[in-house]
Chains A and B, each alone.
Chain A
Amino acid sequence: MLAITNLTVGYGRTDILRDLSVTFTPGHITGIIGPNGAGKSTLIKALLNLIKPRQGQILLNDTPVKSQLNQIAYVQQRADLDLSFPIDVEHVVLTGVYPQLKLFHEPTPAMHDAVTAAIDQVGLTDFKHRQFSALSGGQLQRVFVARALVQQAQVLILDEPFVGIDLASETQIMAILRELTAAGKTVIIVHHDLNKVTTYFDDLVILNHGVIAAGSTERVFTRSNIGQAFSEDLGKVLFIEEVNNG
């Protein structure tokens, strides 16, 4: 179980997240939603040990995450990458085993097999030797999901994975994530599209500089919580729509 207790993080003099406590259940897909600037990216950076918390701790199975960073796989936003880098699909996926490799060690044959299997699982076998920059948005995202699979981590964090990708890729990625949670992994998705919240997430964390609400999606995804985190209006619009649809 991934547990955050009393976490305070920030930059300079400002705290972005204050006294945040939340747990993520293995075998569940947890969505993190919140308005722009709510601290979603900051929370992820803290989970990945990319910024130092001012207070609080992050434990995975009762051990600090800091000491087991290779147990967290991270699929970042596509926009953050240098797409012109001279590397092919297979090699990008292969970098997923680097966290398990010590200095001066080369990937083993078993690792190469795992790479081939992961590429097959995301349906990109025909694109194995394709230059990275010659892929569509959806294909790129599947490459990074394949890399995360190869990492064989207990926790998988995806930052806005469905922005600007095709529906087929989105469906395929969700199916793979379901397989992972069925195998007991913890999956965390930072998400901005409130429409798919109820279909995608078992659990939900609604964030705005702290936890507004957290728990099973059914219980937490309510008009008042959304109203509190985003705005009254959004809460009204979103849930009136739902009533109409129903």
Chain B
Amino acid sequence: MASIQAFITGLSQYNFLQTALLTSIMVGVMSGIVGSFIILRGMSLMGDAISHSVLPGVALAYMLGINLVIGASVMGVLAAVLIGYIADRSALKNDTAIGIIFSAFFALGFILISLAESTTNLHHILFGNVLAVSDSDLKLTAWILAAVVLFVVLFFKELLISSFDPTFAQAYGLKTTFLHYGLMVVLTLVTVSALQTVGIILIVAMLITPAAVGFLWTNSLAKMMIIASSVGVVSAIVGLYFSYTWNLASGPAIVLVAAFIFAISFLLSPKRFGNRLFKGGVSDEA
């Protein structure tokens, strides 16, 4: 196809396109890894909340001229702490606490961005503008990817057991709260690097959809993360190609490719469907 050739020619000619592709690929890898833990811990809504809550941090970072990562992480973790605090100290359910905090943070971020009167385009923060990724953004993303991979490799068994069997983990003295907030920090880092590829609004799709595909195809956590990351990478490449060829917004293009891969997987994995049915009533024969 001529358009694919044009995309490849574009890649060899334009530095901005190479940077965009590399960044998208790295974001695909890290969101697949982190997303696997997010969906296994039943924290999809939390993932959405934290990524939205990063907005005031981004705005403040621009206003104060401090590092974006610091502003975003502080706000992301603050939101996670507040959500935990409200859920623990009242009879309100976790999702109610999430709904209150993330909408408030998002609203605050929206107002701060408009006050900042910066050249920063709110639309680009919300939906991404991957073709404007700078070389320093690329470097930052590479560092974040390294940090995410290191975190997951070093704490793999602790993350696994605290996701699979939190009571067991706590009972042998594992600091599950520490791991929870560690994961929240990692989540804000992923959000920061995904700001320009898919944007704040859609990052949750990159966390959940590829991980869900991995979940459908395997019974091993490590393989699930590998599949999720691969789906993230393929979505990034194909999405960027569509974005470049038909001048579409990059974030939504990437997310739609991921959703398409999920739809195919969902239809083709009857094994998981059987398991799901089985789950409701575990039979008792020896």
Q: Contacts A86-B219, A136-B286, A165-B284: A70 and B164 contacting too (C-beta < 8 A)?
A: no
The reply to whether B278 and A137 contact each other, CB–CB distance below 8 Å, is no
- Residue-wise, chain B 161-201 has the 8 Å CB interface mask toward A (1 for contact) of 10111011111111000000000000000000000000000
B interface, how many residues as a size bin? 35 or more
B136 CB within 8 Å of chain A: no
The reply to whether A137 and B167 contact each other, CB–CB distance below 8 Å, is no
Closest chain A residue to B275, Cβ basis: A133
Looking at chain B's contact residues, the main secondary structure is helix
In the complex, besides A74-B171, A82-B164, A103-B154, 6 extra interface pairs with C-beta distance below 8 angstroms are A76-B167, A86-B40, A92-B164, A98-B161, A133-B279, A140-B282
The reply to whether A99 and B167 contact each other, CB–CB distance below 8 Å, is no
The reply to whether B279 and A84 contact each other, CB–CB distance below 8 Å, is yes
Chain A to chain B contacts (Cβ below 8 Å), 24 pairs: A49-B173, A50-B167, A70-B173, A81-B164, A82-B164, A83-B279, A83-B282, A84-B276, A85-B163, A86-B40, A86-B221, A87-B219, A95-B160, A98-B169, A99-B172, A99-B173, A103-B154, A103-B158, A104-B154, A134-B275, A136-B283, A137-B283, A166-B284, A166-B285
Tell me which residues across on chain A come within 8 A of B172, comparing CB atoms: 69-70, 98-99
- Residue-wise, chain A 46-71 has the 8 Å CB interface mask toward B (1 for contact) of 00111000000000000000000110
B254 CB within 8 Å of chain A: no
Which residues in A have some Cβ–Cβ distance to B below 8 Å?
A: 48-50, 69-70, 72, 74, 76, 78, 80-88, 91-92, 95, 98-99, 101, 103-104, 131-140, 164-166, 168-169
The reply to whether A101 and B170 contact each other, CB–CB distance below 8 Å, is no
Closest CB of chain A to B218's CB: distance in Å?
A: 6
Closest chain A residue to B272, Cβ basis: A84
